[in-house]
Amino acid sequence: MERFVRRVKEKQTEGQRAREKDLRNLASNLPYEGLERAKQPNCYFPGNAIKTTKYTLLLFIPMNLFEQFHRLANIYFVGLAILNFVPVVSAFQPEVALIPICVVLSLTALKDASEDFRRYQSDRKLNNTPCLIYSRKEQQFIKRHWKDVRVGDFVKVVCNEIVPADLLLLHTSDPSGVCHIETSNLDGEINLKQRKMMSGDPEFEPESFNSAVVCEKPNNNLNHFKCYKPNKEKVGAGIESLLLRGCTVRNTDHAVGFVVYAGHETKAMLNNKGPRYKRSKLERKLNTDVIFCVILLFTMCLIGALGHFLWLQALPGVPPYLVPDGNGHLDSPSLSGFYMFFTMIILLQILIPISLYVSIELVKIGQIFFITNDIDLHDEGTDSRVQCKALNITEDLGQIEYIFSDKTGTLTENKMVFRRCSIMGTEYAHKENALLFIRMDCICAFLVLATTQSTLHYRYHSHTHSYTGGRAYHTKCHSRTFTAVWLPKDTSTCRLQGPGIETPSDW
């Protein structure tokens, strides 16, 4: 029995150690402010600066060439250029044969470099976005940049501000301890979500926060998070207390959070797989066509080489236009036919035009220009336009046949507009929409309009017992009075059975 109990305790200890390996212990940076980075407890965690570029200055050429050689036509033309350096089968000057393929590779590399430079500018702009970080020396929140945020800092975000890192919510201006956020940058949802501050902190001061925070290691699960404060009474928190990087604070004056994940360890960045080489449907189809053209080219060259071999064998003597080698010997018909095969490959290389991809790239650049400057795709409210982030797959927009979407407000405004309310039997409407209600009510029942000075009055009257305009009334007469802003051009669009316009004296 004792042995069994010992084994159970050993298993529990092993499980506890395994769980501790999946946790990280975070401390506040305030007591260590001013020390070297290497002497701070959170020095092993990455900073908040991000980098989404695909290339570096040193690796740009090899990485870009590797991506470009996914196009079979580029491999084909490089092989032809190398073949021209063989004196026996060369048909052009080797240097001249290199010019076309070098031009094609250079133009594509310039396009990829410009696209990656736009990513670099976007990263620099985001990393230099201002935010508020608490400073023990200044005894207040001071303005810093996103790239200066580190794990263990206290960050203050105000209304309509984007959260710079994954924050554990410790304080909010809302008396109920709730912070509203919009996660449209993460999941496309524009409806607001509530986040509650970590329990046990009704009155919060950054310098009085002496507890450590134990949380799970970074992961890409946007709906799961666990942490606790290892005090005498463990206070835990979940995803309902985490403000994710990229979210926007709404309807809350300000909120203060403790940075648990920063930079590429945030959940938003872990879900961002980074830029990758994308191939459009047209490019994949071109690779198939290039393979077919290469097979056709080899067939034609094989037939030509075989014909050259048979022709040399059929000659009765040595023709005078055949040039011997340095030793005065002529090549055999079989060897001449072998050389002729490669010579014809060079001569018939125009079967696959080298300007094919250059023309396609120029068309893509023009297409991107028209998409970006399309007035129908411009949002006047935010003064924003379409941004083409992947320049290689713009033509795939023309291949879309179906769009599947759920009604969540992602494609629509999902906007609730105040219409009217009733207080103790008196109805009140939004004055900007009042006249619209009048016109809508005209369709469903009789309407009586009259004007008194600059006020528009109407009396709603329905004497039907059944459905009228899609609505049922169970009383013989229903009347109400409504006041709205009067405009001279407003008219009443009543049903044909209506009594028309009455004056106030008829009421």
Query: Rounded to whole angstroms, how far apart are CA atoms 464 and 473?
Result: 7
What are residue 142's DSSP bridge partners?
A: 133
393 within 8 A of 280, measured Cβ to Cβ: yes
Query: Rounded to whole angstroms, how far apart are CA atoms 131 and 455?
Result: 50
Kindly provide the b/e burial profile for residues 263-285, where b requires at least 16 CB atoms within 10 angstroms of the residue's own CB: bbbbbbbeeeeeeeeeebebbee
Mean pLDDT of 351-356: 80
Mean pLDDT of 413-439: 67
pLDDT at res. 228 = 86
pLDDT at res. 79 = 86
Query: Rounded to whole angstroms, how far apart are CA atoms 447 and 283?
Result: 64
245 pLDDT tier (thresholds 50, 70, 90): very high
In this structure, what token pair is assigned to residue 405? 């979407």
pLDDT at res. 123 = 92
409 within 8 A of 382, measured Cβ to Cβ: no
Q: Is the pLDDT of residue 476 over 80?
A: no
Q: Give the chain's mean pLDDT.
A: 76
| Identity of the amino acid at 428 | Y
Q: What are the C-alpha distances in Å from 406 to residues 57, 350, 410, 473?
A: 43, 50, 8, 36
Mean pLDDT of 412-429: 71
Phi, psi of 37 (to 5 degrees): -60, -35
Q: What are the C-alpha distances in Å from 267 to residues 220, 326, 403?
A: 5, 71, 28
* Upper half-sphere CA count for residue 467 (Cβ side, 13 Å): 3
Question: For the chain, which residues make up each domain, given as ranges?
Answer: 420-506
pLDDT at res. 21 = 63
Residue 323 neighbours by CB distance under 10 Å: 7
**Length reported for the chain:** 507
410 pLDDT tier (thresholds 50, 70, 90): low
Query: Rounded to whole angstroms, how far apart are CA atoms 198 and 149?
Result: 21
Select which of 406, 441, 490, 506 is catalytic.
406
Q: Is the pLDDT of residue 471 over 60?
A: no
Query: Rounded to whole angstroms, how far apart are CA atoms 197 and 210?
Result: 17
Instruction: Clarify whether 406 is annotated catalytic.
Output: yes
pLDDT tens readout for residues 133-182: 999 888 889 999 999 999 999 999 999 999 999 999 998 988 888 999 99
pLDDT at res. 340 = 86
141 within 8 A of 236, measured Cβ to Cβ: no
pLDDT at res. 358 = 78
In sequence order, which residues have a C-beta less than 8 Å from that of residue 304 and are 6 or more positions away?
Answer: 340, 341, 344
Parallel, antiparallel, or unpaired: how do β-strands 471-472 and 140-145 relate?
unpaired
pLDDT tens readout for residues 84-140: 888 777 777 778 878 888 888 898 898 889 888 988 999 999 999 999 999 988 888
In this structure, what token pair is assigned to residue 120? 């670099």
Write down the H helix ranges in 35-142.
60-68, 72-83, 94-127
pLDDT at res. 19 = 46
What are residue 235's DSSP bridge partners?
A: 229
Least confident of 151-155, 357-361, 389-393: 389-393
188 within 8 A of 408, measured Cβ to Cβ: yes
Q: Is the pLDDT of residue 455 over 60?
A: no
In sequence order, which residues have a C-beta less than 8 Å from that of residue 403 and are 6 or more positions away?
Answer: none
CB under 8 A, 24+ apart: contacts of 413-422? 414/190, 414/191
Mean pLDDT of 486-493: 36
Q: Is the pLDDT of residue 449 over 50?
A: no
312 pLDDT tier (thresholds 50, 70, 90): confident
Q: What are the C-alpha distances in Å from 250 to residues 151, 315, 492?
A: 24, 91, 41
Q: What are the C-alpha distances in Å from 264 to residues 73, 125, 151, 268?
A: 37, 16, 12, 8
In sequence order, which residues have a C-beta less than 8 Å from that of residue 209 and are 6 or more positions away?
Answer: 28, 30, 154, 170, 258
CB under 8 A, 24+ apart: contacts of 140-147? 146/48, 146/49, 147/47, 147/48, 147/49
| Between residues 463 and 429, the one the model is more confident about | 429
Q: Is the pLDDT of residue 336 over 90?
A: no
Q: Scanning the structure block, which residue is given the tokens 């009586």?
A: 448
Q: Is the pLDDT of residue 382 over 80?
A: no
pLDDT at res. 383 = 79
pLDDT at res. 258 = 92
In sequence order, what DSSP letters do the residues of 191-235 get, joined into one string? S-EEEEPPTT-SS--GGG----EEEEPP-S-TT---EEE-SSS-E
